[in-house]
Amino acid sequence: MRRLDRYDAHDDANSLWHMYRTVSFVKVAKNFIVIELSRITPFLSWKNWMYRHLLGMNVGRRVSFALKVVPDFMFPEKITVGDDTIIGYNTTILAHEYLRDEYRLGPVVIGNDVMIGANSTILPGVTIGDGAVVSAMTLVHKDVPAGAFVGGNPMRIIYTKEEREKREASENGR
């Protein structure tokens, strides 16, 4: 189950129509510029510095954000990424979602030693456990257990941590 705070739209317009009641235009504009610069910056240490110091994200040591990764423009401070994690090319990490009648906010917690494949989308309110592997083009719409290998749209568990360790041990024992 995703951990989300829900807010009513309050009138007949959809919730996105009122987004600047939720977050300031100046904050979104600044975040947009920082994220667009970081998307094309080839230096991982620069990206991590920008995310930590200019966006307020909690980014661990030696985190590798590939080119074109898009953290949430409106609420990047709700994103935490653990040490030694790799986030693949063109992945989107959302901490908000605007719907017709409501908007939702939720933290995204990505553990240590996680590998997220290219072109994945992580929805708000999700936790990805330590050592998990998310295959490319996965829609992460619920929590990922530590050590699991997941993939697909909608996401499903392909191997649990125990099944993955057993499989890797048998492949290395050949």
Using left for φ > 0, alpha for ψ between -120 and 50, and beta otherwise, residue 144 falls in beta
Q: Does pLDDT of 145 surpass 70?
A: yes
Residues constituting the chain: 174
Q: Which two tokens stand for residue 167?
A: 């499989």
Q: Where are the beta strands (DSSP E) in 10-140?
A: 58-59, 64-65, 70-71, 79-81, 86-87, 92-93, 96-98, 102-105, 108-110, 115-116, 121-122, 127-128, 133-134, 139-140
Give pLDDT, residue 174: 63
Q: Does pLDDT of 10 surpass 80?
A: no
pTM for this entry: 0.93
Q: Which two tokens stand for residue 91?
A: 């992945």
Top pLDDT among 169 and 104 is at 104
For domain 5-172, is the CATH number 3.30.70.2190? Answer: no
Give pLDDT, residue 116: 98
pLDDT in tens, 12-23: 788 888 888 889
Domain boundaries, the chain: 5-172
Q: Which two tokens stand for residue 102?
A: 């409501």
Give pLDDT, residue 169: 85
Please report which confidence band the pLDDT of residue 157 belongs to, taking 50, 70 and 90 as the band edges.
very high
Three-state DSSP at 65 gives strand
Q: Does pLDDT of 165 surpass 90?
A: no
Average pLDDT for residues 111-117, to the nearest whole number? 98
d(CA 135, CA 144): 12
